[in-house]
Amino acid sequence: MHFGQVANFKTNSNIPIEKFAIAINSNLKKSIIIKSAEEVEEKFHSRLSCKKKTYRYIINNQEIGTAIYRNLETHIPQKLEVEKMKQAVKFFEGEHDFKAFKASGTSSKSSVRTIYQAQVLEKPEGRIWIELTGNGFLYNMVRIIAGTLVEVGLGNIEPEEITSIIEEKNRNKAGKTLPPQGLYLVTVEYSSH
């Protein structure tokens, strides 16, 4: 799997750019690794220059969870109706006001975002992936969308109700915020910098 976190900084270092990742990794803890480094224009900003992000939320939908992956996925033992979740996720695509899908206290001025692609994928060993690609995401938005899709999978919300939940902009109508275990930023895409 490829997981993409991007950071930028200014430096006066004389280390050649092709040696930068090795030099930084030698000073980091084992829990983080720099895969590559490249020079960019002065105006480039790793967050503000981003055009698209893809997040993945992983659910273990087996009756019994696993000890090894307990911090890397969310275990939901009740059998989820994945086909209904696949229908429901498509209602998130497009430009919408996602006010119902943001944590209270979010500082963003606007809650309008565009989801370019939204999908629910069945994976081996009872795993369900929820993948969302958009131009930006509100605080906890992916985890709340995932929680809402779980409610669809449990039969508590019908797929078609997603439209009215979005339109009503009422946080209480959407599902609960799922735990952070299972949330991954998969890719960040930029226009040519």
The string of pLDDT tens digits covering residues 53-81 is: 999 999 999 999 899 999 999 999 999 99
- Whether residue 32 is contained in a domain is answered as no
Count of the separate structural domains present in the chain: 1
Task: Determine, yes or no, domain membership for 15.
Answer: no
What CATH number should be reported for the domain holding residue 172?
A: 3.30.70.660
CA dihedral 78, 81, 84, 85 (to 10 degrees): 50
4: in domain: no
Asked if residues 145 and 103 have their Cβ atoms less than 8 Å apart, the reply is: no
Domain membership flag for residue 1: no
pLDDT tens-digit readout, 86-139: 999 999 999 999 999 998 776 778 999 999 999 999 999 999 999 999 999 999
- Domain range for residue 184? 50-189
pLDDT grade for 192, boundaries at 50, 70 and 90: low
Backbone angles phi, psi at 187, to 5 degrees: -140, 155
For strands 112-123 and 127-134, give the pairing: antiparallel
Instruction: Tell me what pLDDT residue 193 has.
Output: 44
Predicted TM-score (pTM) of the model is 0.86
DSSP 122-141: EETTTEEEEEEEES---TTH
pLDDT digits (tens, 9 = 90+) for 130-166: 999 999 999 999 999 999 999 999 999 999 999 999 9
